Amino acid sequence: MKGQPAADFFSRPGPPPISRKGAQAARKMDLESELARSAIQRLRSWRERVNQEKKGGFIPRLAVKFCGGCNPLFDRERVVRKLREGISGIRWVSWEQDPDLTLILNGCPTACAEREEVRKHCGASLEIQPGAVLEVEECRRIPEVRGGREKGGRGGGS
């Protein structure tokens, strides 16, 4: 700004200063809330579709699988809290209890929660990661084999 003293330029009113931590916290709050909103929409659509296929009365069993948490800027627990607050008519179970849908929360591109052992126990999965909620993906349940017999079945012998 030519001809204007530096003091005038810096003394002009502007937005209040914000610390780096404050800016990160504001961005983080928006990120987790937005991810939870998007996930809730996908969960509701999935539940409605499955409920129609099962002719009503469907109460889905959902599980959560968290990643290792190497990304301190992504609050995975906050996403799940928002989800639980925003959706009802769900029964929460452990991911090892063959849920109808497993929420897979990954905080970084390594995606360590995205493992075959998780997918083999679920009917469907919804992956949530910073910046994206993927589409609900059907999983292929692999029958558990115990003593040469499939769990819940007669078992296949030759």
Q: Within a domain: residue 137?
A: yes
* pLDDT value, residue 121: 82
pTM of structure: 0.69
Q: Is residue 154 part of a domain?
A: no
Q: In this structure, is residue 62 part of a structural domain?
A: yes
Task: Tell me the mean pLDDT in the region 134-138.
Answer: 93
Average model confidence (pLDDT) for the chain? 80
Range of the domain at 104: 20-142
Answer yes or no: are the C-beta atoms of 38 and 133 closer than 8 Å.
yes
Per-residue confidence at 23, pLDDT binned at 50, 70, 90?
low
Q: How far apart are CA 156 and CA 148, in angstroms?
A: 7
For the cut 80, the answer to whether the pLDDT of residue 37 exceeds it is yes
> Which comes out higher in pLDDT, residue 128 or 150?
128
**Overall number of domains in the chain:** 1
Q: Has residue 73 been placed in a domain?
A: yes
- Is pLDDT above 80 for 25? no
Give pLDDT tens digits for 74-113. 999 999 999 999 999 999 999 889 899 999 999 998 899 9
Residue 4 forms part of a structural domain: no
Question: pLDDT by residue (tens digit) across 42-81?
Answer: 999 999 999 999 888 889 999 999 999 999 989 999 999 9
Degrees, nearest 5: CA angle 151-155-158: 155
Residue 5 lies in a domain: no
Q: Do the domain assignments include residue 1?
A: no
* DSSP line for 58-82: ---EEEEEE-----TT--HHHHHHH
